[in-house]
Amino acid sequence: MVFFVTGNVHKFHEARNVLSRFGIATAMVNLETIEIQADAIKTVAQVSALDAAKKSGLPIFVEDAGLFINALNGFPGPYSNYVYRTIGIGGILKLLGKTKQRDAYFHSVVAFCDPRGKIKLLCFEGRVNGKITFEERGNQGFGFDPIFELPTRKGATFAEMSTQEKNQLSHRAQALKKFARWYTQNV
């Protein structure tokens, strides 16, 4: 069993869905960890994973992700959660206005740490390219899913897909699948 340190039940359900396909049992742990502000998602995930492993003594992983919008020089990037909570989807759409250049990508980092014996810290990354829509579409998913469309899926947003469809393509699913392949061979 591996423990996912998160307070986000949506992320947990997505992770459990992906990892179960690899025969990995996952439990959610809601643990206060250090969440530093940094310009790199990988750094945020690493610090959180090390802190959570030290506090819990369990084999854990954390996942951090961000939405990077080219027209906004990568904003909100590692600050996506804060931006979502403060200005939300409407604020991002307002910042972009009528800008036609709406290329963006989601980037995810899964950081795994096992404090039993020597502490290990490994990271697995995923990225998916897309575009920001001009309006919200769909009612599935969470966060910025209603404005992130995938050209490879006939322009559907993540919020217009079922969890199963999203887990075939998403940045988080990519990182989790890399983690799962490593975990099943090494733990």
Residues across the chain: 187
Helix axes 171-186, 9-20, angle to 10 degrees: 50
In this structure, are residues 145 and 138 in contact, taking their beta carbons and an 8 Å threshold? Answer: yes
The Cα-based distances of 63 to 16, 46, 87, 117, 139 in angstroms read: 13, 9, 22, 23, 23
The answer to whether 64 is a known catalytic residue is: yes
DSSP assignment string, 147-170: GEEEGGGTTEEGGGS-HHHHHHH-
In this structure, are residues 67 and 104 in contact, taking their beta carbons and an 8 Å threshold? Answer: yes
- The distance of Cα 47 from the centroid of its chain, to the nearest Å, equals 16
Q: Which of 64, 103, 114, 145 is catalytic?
A: 64
- Residues with a catalytic annotation lie at 64
